Amino acid sequence: MTIRLILDMAAQAGAGRTALLPGAGDPVTFGRLAEVADAGSALLGRLGGRTLAFIGVNSPAVPALLFAAAGAGVPFAPLNYRLAEPALRELIARLDAPVLVTDPSHRLDPPGNAVASITTGEWFDLLASPGAEDAPGAASAAASEESPAVLLFTSGTTSAPKCAVLRHANLLAYVLGTVEFDAAAADDCALLSVPPYHIAGIGAVLTNAYSGRKAAYLTDFTPEGWLDVVRTRRVSHAMVVPTMLARIVEHLGDRPADCPSLTSLAYGGARMPLPVLTRALEAFPSTGFVNAYGLTETSSTIAVLGPADHRAAVAAGEAYRLASVGRVVPGVEAEIRGEDGRAVPAGATGELWVRGPQVSGEYTGLGSVLDAAGWFPTRDLARLDEQGYLYVEGRADDTIIRGGENIAPAEIEDVLLLHGAVREAAVVGTADPHWGERLVAVVVPAGPAGTAGPAAAAGADLAAELRAFVRARLRGSRTPDEVVFRSELPYTPTGKLLRREIVAGLAAGSTALA
């Protein structure tokens, strides 16, 4: 059984039901998507590739290629189209005999291991050629549950990108354990605006097909464009990363969103600043918010803070609950371990370890990093409270050690973001001969209506005010030794803060961020 079964089930349950809404052209039904995937599987068999790589934006081509690869028994490897060509060539060179499919605007000269390189237009032209669907190709029986289904390169925020291996069994466990088959209403519509090389983009393809929900696409995110698609397509379900939601509420200002069809808005991929979430809850009063926490290596979501949790936290004035990523989903176990490797009690912070059938914990070239009992070390610092709510406090790799004390930057960042003069904040450690590391807060000041203000206008008075603001709310050891101002912070396209770039810039005395 492979993930191709998901499309087959959707096509059998409603062949004439709309699956995809292209930006231009006619809607694509589940029945037609299955036919296109069949032809794609046959084409892959004729080309002889052992991987199907893709470079391009999120579009109807993604599900067509994903299911074609599954039917041909080869893994699908979507790559970050925002990378420079040399970096992309390095990633492609790490794949096994790839057939490379690219959007026309992202075509490149592939390395020698690629068996073919064609554009999406050429791919679909080949599928439409006479007799293409009847031509012999790879049989779907070539793949099993334990075969690799998807290869995703991690974002590499703290080190070189690793290539995570997600097997069919992992992805099927995630989908079958979290989504009800064919449960979508006839008018349900999901908006896909996260990139296809992110696990959320892959997960959305599978969960939408399994639930029978049609998908609309936004290839280039802008807050205006996002709101327009939600309104015109009557989108019911959407997923954003924190930087997207921040831009949406910034664009709205004090106005309501006016998106009556939007019943569910999921967010994840990075920490959500509380001021952004609070404003979003006000702007989308009839929308159910979902914090979905997961990792590439866990086949997407492993913990959920659902709409009822959000409403209860707001009603009770328990803002701290909104900082939680919710409770662990059925089928996944979570454990917080201390530095000695032993489980710690509720409320204590340690490294989050998880296990379950959807957890892969495997990389090409490295193999499995699961321990003997099947637990995966997420490298996230977290705690579980008495009610089972999970709080993720940051990456273990980001921990600052000051005078022998471990300090999580997120704890300080959350306080800084409560100050009205702060739009964005990052806390990093830099070398200090006395303390080992000193705390440096890098702040983007807030301008009118929450926009970024000029960094040059922020001076010593605001820096002193922010240090006092933190000291009044946290222990003195958590107070930044220095506050510097920048006009922007570096993020990945999926909203993850690039701390190493900040540290490198500070160490070099760079003004690149100023």
Considering 343, 373, 396, which residue would you say is the last residue of a domain? Answer: 396
Taking the C-alpha atoms of residue 66 and residue 54, their distance in angstroms, rounded to an integer, is: 9
Taking the C-alpha atoms of residue 308 and residue 337, their distance in angstroms, rounded to an integer, is: 29
DSSP 140: G
Please check whether residues 353 and 436 belong to one and the same domain.
Answer: no
Displacement of CA 414 from its chain's centroid (Å): 21
Taking the C-alpha atoms of residue 30 and residue 38, their distance in angstroms, rounded to an integer, is: 12
Give the per-residue pLDDT at 134.
56
Considering 396, 431, 451, which residue would you say is the last residue of a domain? Answer: 396
**Residues counted in the chain:** 514
Q: What angle do CA 20, 222, 76 make, to 5 degrees?
A: 45
Three-state DSSP at 53 gives: strand
Taking the C-alpha atoms of residue 272 and residue 269, their distance in angstroms, rounded to an integer, is: 9
Give the per-residue pLDDT at 114.
96
List of residues 6+ apart from 46 with CB closer than 8 A: 135, 136, 137
Please check whether residues 361 and 418 belong to one and the same domain.
Answer: no
pTM of the model: 0.86
Q: Outline where 165-211 has alpha helix (H).
A: 168-178, 199-211
**184, two tokens:** 């979508």
Taking the C-alpha atoms of residue 110 and residue 114, their distance in angstroms, rounded to an integer, is: 6
Taking the C-alpha atoms of residue 195 and residue 56, their distance in angstroms, rounded to an integer, is: 9
Backbone dihedral region for residue 299 (phi beyond 0: left; psi -120 to 50: alpha; all else: beta)? left
Taking the C-alpha atoms of residue 204 and residue 63, their distance in angstroms, rounded to an integer, is: 10
- Establish if 181 belongs to a structural domain: no
Range of the domain at 459: 399-507
- Establish if 414 belongs to a structural domain: yes
473 near 415, Cβ under 8 Å?
yes
* Beta-strand relationship, 28-29 and 116-119: unpaired
Amino acid identity of residue 57, one-letter, is: V
- Establish if 42 belongs to a structural domain: no
Q: In what order do the strands lie in the sheet with 28-29?
A: 28-29, 18-21, 214-217, 189-192, 237-240, 264-267, 288-295, 300-305, 327-328
* Beta-strand relationship, 422-432 and 400-402: unpaired
Taking the C-alpha atoms of residue 241 and residue 243, their distance in angstroms, rounded to an integer, is: 6
Question: Which uninterrupted H or E stretch holds 392?
Answer: strand 390-395
Per residue of the chain (514 residues), give pLDDT as tens: 999 999 999 999 999 999 999 987 899 999 999 999 999 999 999 999 999 999 999 999 999 999 999 999 999 999 999 999 999 999 999 999 999 999 999 999 999 999 999 999 999 999 987 665 555 444 444 689 999 999 999 876 556 789 999 999 999 999 999 999 999 999 999 999 999 999 999 999 999 999 999 999 998 999 999 999 999 999 999 999 998 999 999 999 999 999 999 999 999 988 898 889 999 999 999 999 999 999 999 999 999 999 999 999 999 988 889 999 999 999 999 999 998 999 999 999 999 999 999 999 999 999 999 999 999 999 999 999 999 999 998 888 888 988 878 888 988 999 999 999 999 999 999 988 878 899 999 999 987 655 555 555 567 899 999 999 999 998 788 999 999 999 999 988 778 889 889 998 888 775 444 4
Please check whether residues 390 and 412 belong to one and the same domain.
Answer: no
CATH number where 373 lies: 2.30.38.10
Considering 342, 369, 396, which residue would you say is the last residue of a domain? Answer: 396
- Establish if 102 belongs to a structural domain: no
- Establish if 279 belongs to a structural domain: no
Give the per-residue pLDDT at 98.
98
Own/partner contacts of 110-115, CB < 8 Å, gap of 24 or more, are 114/53, 115/47, 115/48, 115/49
- Establish if 192 belongs to a structural domain: no
Backbone dihedral region for residue 232 (phi beyond 0: left; psi -120 to 50: alpha; all else: beta)? alpha
Please check whether residues 429 and 499 belong to one and the same domain.
Answer: yes
Place of tokens 């099927």: 172
- Establish if 485 belongs to a structural domain: yes
317 near 361, Cβ under 8 Å?
no
Please check whether residues 469 and 376 belong to one and the same domain.
Answer: no
CATH number where 422 lies: 3.30.300.30
Please check whether residues 425 and 380 belong to one and the same domain.
Answer: no
Please check whether residues 431 and 503 belong to one and the same domain.
Answer: yes
**Phi then psi for 402, rounded to 5 degrees?**
-115, 115
Three-state DSSP at 451 gives: coil
Taking the C-alpha atoms of residue 107 and residue 105, their distance in angstroms, rounded to an integer, is: 6
Taking the C-alpha atoms of residue 341 and residue 453, their distance in angstroms, rounded to an integer, is: 45
Q: Reduced to 3 DSSP states, what percent helix, strand and coil does the chain have, rounded to the nearest 5?
A: 35, 25, 40
Q: How many domains does the chain have?
A: 2
Taking the C-alpha atoms of residue 490 and residue 46, their distance in angstroms, rounded to an integer, is: 43
452 near 446, Cβ under 8 Å?
yes
Please check whether residues 382 and 426 belong to one and the same domain.
Answer: no
- Establish if 423 belongs to a structural domain: yes
Three-state DSSP at 7 gives: helix
Please check whether residues 448 and 384 belong to one and the same domain.
Answer: no
Give the per-residue pLDDT at 458.
62
Place of tokens 């006619």: 26
Please check whether residues 412 and 365 belong to one and the same domain.
Answer: no
Three-state DSSP at 164 gives: strand
Please check whether residues 342 and 418 belong to one and the same domain.
Answer: no
Please check whether residues 366 and 412 belong to one and the same domain.
Answer: no
CA nearest to 423, candidates 291, 221, 287, 242? 242
From the CA atom positions of the chain, what is the Rg in Å? 23
Taking the C-alpha atoms of residue 18 and residue 264, their distance in angstroms, rounded to an integer, is: 20
Taking the C-alpha atoms of residue 410 and residue 388, their distance in angstroms, rounded to an integer, is: 21
